[in-house]
C-alpha cells in the first residue's frame, strides 16, 4: 500500500479502522511551515488554530526540528527508572520559571498533567474536595473529566470520581463559601479555553487565593491552553495579581510533540513521594529536547511583547466587526481570542474559511475561536479580519 493515497482513501481508512471519536473536516494536511499548512493536494492554508494552541512557535520551527532530529539520533527513551539529561533540564527550566523550591512532574498531555495535580491535591489533604468552576474543561480521563462540569461530556461515563464541587465562574462569594476545611484545592483555568475563551475576573482569582490561604487548600491553575505565551506572558497568571501553588502546562510545551507538566511551588513541591505517581513516557529525552527548544523560542521578551501588540490589533479588528453588528461579543487575552456571532452560524463560517484557505475553529454553534501561531504577522491577522468581514 502506498504511504499516501489521497484524501478519499484517508477518509475511508479512518472510517473503517479508527474509533469514531472525532468529527473531522474533509481535508488531509500533509505539510506545515510557520503559520501555513498544505493539504495532500498541495493547497495552502493560513492556520489560525495551531493544532488547538499546540504549534505556537509555528509549524516545523527549524530550532525545534533540529533539536528533535539531533536527540532522535542519540536516545529516544529509557524509562524513568534511570536519569537522562533532557528531562532534568526541562524540569529545571519550568521550575525556575515559577519560583524557588518548585518541583516538576513530567507526563504526556494536559489531561495527565491535571490528573497529577488532582492526585497531588488529594495527597495534600486526603479525602478533601476539589472546587472547580462552571464552564471549565480539564481533560477527558476519569479524574480530569470529573473536574469538567459539562453534562454532555460527563453523563455518558457516570459514575464519575466523587469529591468535586462546582461554583459559578464569576461569583466570588459562592467560591468563598465553597472552600473550607474539607477543601483540598481550587482548580481553575485563568482563561477558560474549550467553552469559548472566558477570562476569569480578578475578583474571582483573588477570592480563590484568599479562600485557599484561609483553609489551607492548594490553588491550582490549569494553563494547558492559556500558558506558553498565548496571553502575552509565558504563564497566564503573570498577568494577574494572583500566583497559584501549582500549575499545569502541556499543548504548546513541545510545539507538537506530546508532553505535559505539573509544576508545584515550594508549598506543594514535596507532597508526592516515590511510588505515588508515574508515567512511562513522561519526560523522555526526545520530547524533553523538543520542549527545551520550544521554550527557547517562546520564552523571549521580544516575542511575548509582540503577542500582546498583535493581540490588541486582532481584538480591535474584531471589536470593529462587533460595532458594525456582525459580532455579538469579543473575549480573550493576547492571541487567545473568541467571538460570538449574533446567530448560530459558527460551523458555517468555519467551513467557508476552509474553502477560502483559512483554518478556524468553532467551540459551539455561535462561537469562533482564534489560536494563530504566536509568530503570526499583521498582514495575516488583517487577512482573517477581512475574511470575517465578508463572511459575516
Q: Which residues are tagged catalytic?
A: 137, 222, 251
Phi, psi of 110 (to 5 degrees): -70, -45
Q: 112 Cβ partners below 8 Å, 6+ apart?
A: 139, 141, 250, 260, 279, 282
Query: How far is the C-alpha of 344 from the C-alpha of 280, rounded, in Å?
Result: 43
Helical packing angle, 285-298 and 62-72, nearest 10°: 160
Residue with C-alpha cell 487548600? 217
Sign of the dihedral through C-alpha 145, 109, 229, 351: negative
Nearest 5°: the CA angle 211, 265, 245 is 20
CB 132 within 8 A of CB 168: no
How far separated are the first and last CA of the chain, in Å rounded? 44
Starting at the edge strand found earlier in the chain, the sheet holding 29-33 runs 29-33, 36-39, 44-47, 358-359
Whose CA is closest to 171, among 183, 188, 193, 150? 188
Distances (CA, A) of 371 to 183, 196, 298: 34, 12, 15
Dmax (CA) of the chain: 63
Starting at the edge strand found earlier in the chain, the sheet holding 129-133 runs 103-107, 260-264, 246-249, 218-222, 183-188, 129-133, 164-167
Alpha helices in 147-284, H assignment, sequence order = 151-154, 172-178, 202-215
Amino acid at each position: 500500500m502506498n504511504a499516501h493515497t489521497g484524501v478519499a482513501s484517508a477518509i475511508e481508512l479512518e472510517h473503517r479502522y479508527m474509533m469514531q471519536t472525532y468529527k473531522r473536516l474533509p481535508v488531509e494536511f500533509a505539510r506545515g511551515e510557520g503559520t501555513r499548512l498544505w493539504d495532500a493536494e498541495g493547497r495552502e492554508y493560513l492556520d489560525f488554530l495551531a493544532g488547538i494552541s499546540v504549534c505556537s512557535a509555528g509549524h516545523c520551527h527549524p530550532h525545534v526540528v533540529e533539536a528533535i532530529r539531533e536527540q532522535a539520533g542519540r536516545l529516544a527513551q529509557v524509562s524513568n527508572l534511570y536519569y537522562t539529561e533532557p528531562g532534568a533540564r526541562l524540569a529545571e527550566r519550568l521550575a525556575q520559571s515559577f519560583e524557588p523550591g518548585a518541583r516538576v512532574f513530567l507526563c504526556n498531555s494536559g489531561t495527565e498533567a491535571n490528573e497529577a495535580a488532582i492526585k497531588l491535591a488529594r495527597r495534600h489533604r486526603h479525602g478533601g474536595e476539589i472546587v472547580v468552576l462552571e464552564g471549565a474543561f480539564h481533560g477527558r480521563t476519569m479524574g480530569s473529566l470529573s473536574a469538567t462540569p459539562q453534562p454532555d461530556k460527563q453523563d455518558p461515563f457516570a459514575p464519575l470520581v466523587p469529591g468535586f464541587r462546582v461554583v459559578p465562574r464569576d461569583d466570588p462569594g459562592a467560591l468563598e463559601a465553597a472552600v473550607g476545611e474539607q477543601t483540598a484545592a481550587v482548580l481553575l483555568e485563568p482563561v477558560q479555553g474549550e467553552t469559548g475563551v472566558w477570562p476569569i475576573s480578578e475578583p474571582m482569582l483573588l477570592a480563590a487565593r484568599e479562600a485557599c490561604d484561609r483553609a489551607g487548600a492548594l490553588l491550582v491553575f490549569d494553563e494547558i491552553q492559556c500558558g506558553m505565551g498565548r496571553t502575552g506572558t509565558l504563564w497566564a497568571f503573570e498577568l494577574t495579581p494572583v500566583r497559584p501553588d501549582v500549575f499545569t502546562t502541556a499543548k504548546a510545551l513541545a510545539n507538537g510533540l506530546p508532553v505535559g507538566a505539573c509544576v508545584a511551588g515550594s508549598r506543594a513541591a514535596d507532597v508526592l513521594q516515590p511510588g505515588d505517581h508515574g508515567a512511562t513516557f513522561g519526560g523522555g529525552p526526545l520530547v524533553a529536547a523538543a520542549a527545551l527548544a520550544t521554550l527557547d523560542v517562546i520564552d523571549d521578551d521580544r516575542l511575548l511583547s509582540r503577542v500582546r501588540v498583535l493581540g490588541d490589533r486582532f481584538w480591535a479588528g474584531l471589536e470593529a466587526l462587533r460595532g458594525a453588528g456582525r459580532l455579538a461579543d469579543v473575549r480573550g487575552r493576547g492571541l487567545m481570542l473568541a467571538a460570538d456571532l449574533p446567530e448560530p452560524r459558527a460551523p458555517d463560517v468555519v467551513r467557508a474559511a476552509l474553502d477560502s484557505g483559512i483554518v478556524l475553529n468553532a467551540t459551539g454553534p455561535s462561537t469562533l475561536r482564534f489560536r494563530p501561531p504566536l509568530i503570526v504577522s499583521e498582514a495575516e491577522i488583517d487577512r482573517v479580519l477581512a475574511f470575517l468581514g465578508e463572511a459575516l
